[in-house]
Amino acid sequence: MSDVTAGALESYLTGRLAADVSVSDLHEHVEGWSRDTVSFTARWNEEGEQRERRLVVRAESDAQIEGDSAAEGNDVETEFRTMAAAEDTSVPVPETYWYEGDRSVLGGRFFVVGHLPGDAPVVWDREQRQDLYRAWDEREANEGDGKADGRAKGGSENDGGSLPSQFVDAAAGIHTLDAEDVSALADCPPDAVVERELDRWVGRYRASTVRPEPAVEECIRWFRSNPPEIPETTLVHGDFRIGNILVNEGELTGVLDWELARIGDPLYDLGYASTYYFAGKLIEPIERPELACSLLDREWFYDEYERRSGRVVDRERVRYWRAFSAFVMMTIGLAGVHRFRTGETDDVRAAWFQYIVPGLIEDMLAIVREDRL
Amino acid sequence: MPYLEPAAVLRRFSRFALEEIRPAIDGEERFVRGQVGSMASTLRFLAGELDASERAVTTQENALHEALDGVEHTLDDHDAAATAVREALADARDTLDGTDDEAGSRIRGTRERETTLLEACDDVLARVEANLDDETARAVRRPLYDFLDARLDAQLRTLGRRNESGDGSP
């Protein structure tokens, strides 16, 4: 854990704001894995007026400071620059303030952004999953009454509306940016996207493999022999799911965790959000498999995304990315298992992650078998 | 040898961690509470693995035997020479013979037996991909996928799955 203390933050912000800053109400956010995230309240005096702002610091974890454990995601500066670029879209993201590359300040590189209200739903919690189901059911009921997503507030017909509708807007909004808009991310020509993804994630899988798994090898062969044709690239969030979205009183207030962002196929985000895993499946099947992220009907999601983005949603491509996303999640899980096995971490969650693997293989194989048999 | 049954000890530890230790941790210590929660469920899964691992590997061994027979019949039906695949079949059977006789079982632990099964299956699947035409490959894969399904089913049941469907629906 990096040294995010009130004193260290006060010292840093006093320099940044050229004012005496006091920091209080530190709250450590333990939901994430790859960064140390702490929210806090900063107070200072500016031209005779008392200012107060709730902020969030996101810092490198110990593992990232010590070695190459950031291999699954971008470095902290790239994440910051990506979020800054996303501020220019309709997507709600935390306001970006400062990036700091000097590790002596907090023990690791970090950035500071504004705090947004809300909580990220946990789909593996049955009660929270039920809340998401209700959001969809209410949208469906309202659609019957003709008021589901059309409650315009002086903007487009999609302004306001239900949480499922805002989820679609967020996806479409992210994909309005391309490589030129996000200079922090390496560009990738459309015809190289699939190979880049395969090289990256299969390489990571090989580096983390504990034992042979013929079903996974079968899926890798399928990924390699059935690459979809990618007509264009955009910014891709890379970890687009309801668990990385803040929801406050039924409203989407922010899209978080941009460390897996890259330039790639926008439909990747749709496939990723459509996995059963991100609808709450671990061991047992989920209650409503037709709902992406437990929140919105898949086909409605794709249809609405098409309508709002003007982009054709090739279902076969989404299906490919959906299988591949299960592979990515499995690999991230196995990378944690590998770190635990080698003693790189004592985090109990890393050992626990082995138990998500069979369910993910089951989902991958269900898609692959449709073509292979 | 220890006296207590290992899976029962793990279950007791799991319950203790969840019911006694976790509630005793200050509500502010969310990270530590989360760690204890993960530890408790890991202990419970481990207990299930201990109970079921021997049985699960035997089930997989039987399933692979059936799969290999199925592959051979399918090749015969398709009148396919498929030398490379038949060689892989023979190798896989040799491997299985080494694991399921009594001496083999004694020498090799459950985990090693399982690894051997997985390697054998993957070798056959890879040869199918590389050596057969599309139609024959589809037919030959079917019994091998039955083995993959049997393995997944055994793993998920070990972890506590009770529902039948594997397609995400209850």
Q: What is the mean pLDDT of residues A343-367?
A: 90
Residue recorded with tokens 């992210």: A174
Nearest to B42 among A217, A287, A348 (CB): A348
Is B114:B99 a contact under the CB 8 Å cutoff? no
Smallest CA-to-CA distance from A282 within A366, A219, A360 is with A360
Q: What is the CA radius of gyration of chain A?
A: 21
Give yes or no for a contact between B123 and B87, defined as CB atoms under 8 angstroms apart.
Answer: no
User: B26 — contact with chain A (CB < 8 Å)?
Assistant: no
Cβ–Cβ below 8 Å for B152 and A358: yes
Q: Are residues A102 and A223 both part of a single domain? A: no
Q: Is residue A121 part of a domain?
A: no
Percent of chain A with pLDDT over 90: 80
pLDDT bucket at B106, cuts 50 / 70 / 90: very low
3-state secondary structure of A291: strand
CA distance A289 to chain B (A): 6
Residue A219 CB: number of other CB atoms within 10 A? 23
B130 touches chain A (CB under 8 A): no
Among A114, A146, A173, residue at a domain's last position: A114
Is the pLDDT assigned to residue A67 strictly greater than 50?
yes
The pLDDT of residue B1 is 45
Q: How far apart are CA B50 and CA B56, in angstroms?
A: 10
Please name the residue that has the structure tokens 């952004």: A113
Task: Give per-residue pLDDT as tens, A295-346.
Answer: 999 999 999 999 999 999 999 999 999 999 999 999 999 998 898 888 888 8
Q: Is the pLDDT of residue A124 over 60?
A: yes
Contact list, A214 vs chain B (CB under 8 Å): 118, 121-122, 125, 144, 148
A119 within some domain? no
Q: How far, CA to CA in Å, does A369 sit from each of A233, A364, B26?
A: 28, 9, 48
What is the per-residue burial (b if ≥16 Cβ within 10 Å, else e) of A285-322?
A: bbbbbebbbbbbbbebbbebbeebbebebbeebbbbbb
Which of these ranges, A156-160, A256-260, B1-5, B16-20, has the smallest mean pLDDT?
A: A156-160
Q: Token match 């593996």: residue?
A: A124
Which residue segment(s) compose the domain that A100 sits in? 6-114
Kind plus residue range of the DSSP H or E element containing A58: strand A49-60
Q: Identify which of A105, A87, A106 has the alpha carbon closest to the alpha carbon of residue A96.
A: A87
Close Cβ partners of A154 (under 8 Å, ≥ 6 residues apart)? none
Is B32 at the interface with chain A, CB within 8 A?
A: no
Domain boundary among A46, A80, A114: A114
What is the residue type of A116?
Answer: L
Asked if the C-beta of B152 comes within 8 angstroms of chain A's C-beta atoms, the answer is: yes
Interface of A with B (CB under 8 A): 28, 30, 211-215, 217-218, 221, 276, 279, 281, 283-287, 289, 347-349, 351-352, 355, 358-359, 361-363, 365-366, 369, 372-373
**DSSP string spanning A7-41?**
HHHHHHHHHHHTS--EEEEEEEE-S-SSEEEEEEE
Of A30, A283, A361, the CB nearest to B159: A283
Minimum mean pLDDT range among A42-46, A50-54, B51-55: B51-55
Q: Are A272 and A244 in contact (CB under 8 A)?
A: no
Query: Nearest by CB to B170, which of A28, A285, A351?
Result: A285
Tell me, yes or no, whether A281 and A142 share the same domain: yes
Q: Does B142 touch chain A (CB under 8 A)?
A: yes
Mutate to test the interface with A, among B31, B33, B68 (most CBs of A within 10 A): B31
Q: Quick check: B45 contacting A, CB < 8 Å?
A: yes
pLDDT above 90 for B68: yes
A153 in the same domain as A17: no
Let me know if residue A351 belongs to a domain. Answer: yes
Helix (H, G, I), strand (E, B) or coil at B65: helix
For A27, name the nearest residue in chain B, comparing CA atoms only.
Answer: B28
Of A286, A355, A373, the CB nearest to B138: A373
- Please classify residue B24 by burial: count the beta carbons closer than 10 Å to its beta carbon, then call 0-12 exposed, 13-18 middle and 19+ buried: exposed
Q: So what CATH class is B54-158? A: mainly alpha
C-alpha A274/C-alpha A242 separation (Å) is 11
Domain end position, chosen among A89, A114, A139: A114
Q: Identify whether the C-beta of residue A78 lies closer than 8 Å to the C-beta of residue A171.
A: no
- Flag whether A330 is in a domain: yes
Residue A120: inside a domain: no
Nearest to A93 by CA among A257, A304, A259: A257
Cβ-nearest to A214 among B34, B42, B121: B121
Residue of A nearest to B32 (CA): A30
In a domain, A257, yes or no: yes
Beta-carbon contacts of A62 under 8 Å, excluding residues fewer than 6 positions away, are: A1, A2, A108
pLDDT band at B143 (very low <50, low <70, confident <90, very high): very high
Q: Which CATH number is A286's domain given?
A: 3.90.1200.10
For residue B67, the number of C-alpha atoms closer than 13 Å in the C-beta half-sphere is: 29
In tens, the pLDDT along A174-222 reads 999 999 999 999 999 999 999 999 999 999 999 998 888 999 999 999 9
| Residues A207, A327 within the same domain | yes
Element (H, E) at A128: helix A126-144
pLDDT value of position A204: 95
Question: What are the structure tokens assigned to A226, written together?
Answer: 């059935």
Most B CBs within 10 A among A4, A27, A28, A30, hence the mutation to make, goes to A30
For residue B3, pLDDT over 70 is answered with: no
Residues A166 and A32 in one domain: no
- pLDDT above 70 as % of chain A: 94
Residues A48, A173, single domain; the answer is no
Domains of chain A: total: 2
DSSP annotation of A108:
S
Minimum distance, in Å, between the CA of residue A157 and any CA atom of chain B:
34
A82-89: average pLDDT: 96
Q: Cβ separation of B152 and A211 shorter than 8 Å? A: no
B83 touches chain A (CB under 8 A): no
Nearest beta carbon to residue B159 from set A28, A276, A358:
A358
A98 lies in some domain:
yes
User: Does residue A64 lie in a domain region?
Assistant: yes
Measured between alpha carbons, how far is residue B132 from residues A69, A373, B69, B86, B163 in Å? 41, 13, 17, 11, 36
The rounded mean pLDDT for chain A is 92
Mean pLDDT, rounded, for B57-80: 91
Are A70 and A158 part of one and the same domain? no
Mean pLDDT of chain B: 85
Three-state secondary structure call for residue A230: coil
| Residues of chain A found within 8 Å of residue B114, distances taken between Cβ atoms | 211
Shared domain for A110 and A132, answered yes or no, is no
Task: Give the per-residue pLDDT at B102.
Answer: 57
Write down the pLDDT at residue B100.
59
- Give the Cα separation of A327 and A216 in Å (integer): 8
Chain A partners of B138 at a C-beta cutoff of 8 Å? Answer: 372-373
**Cβ atoms of A323 and A270 closer than 8 Å:** no
CA dihedral A339, A341, A346, A347 (to 10 degrees): 60
A93 and A131, same domain (yes or no): no
Residues A365, A317 share a domain: yes
Query: Does the pLDDT value for residue A156 go beyond 50?
Result: no
Whole-angstrom distance, CA of residue A40 vs CA of residue A7: 12
Selection from A182, A11, A26, A16 nearest residue A89 by Cα: A182
**Same domain, yes or no: A44 and A139:** no
Is residue A72 located within the same domain as residue A139?
no
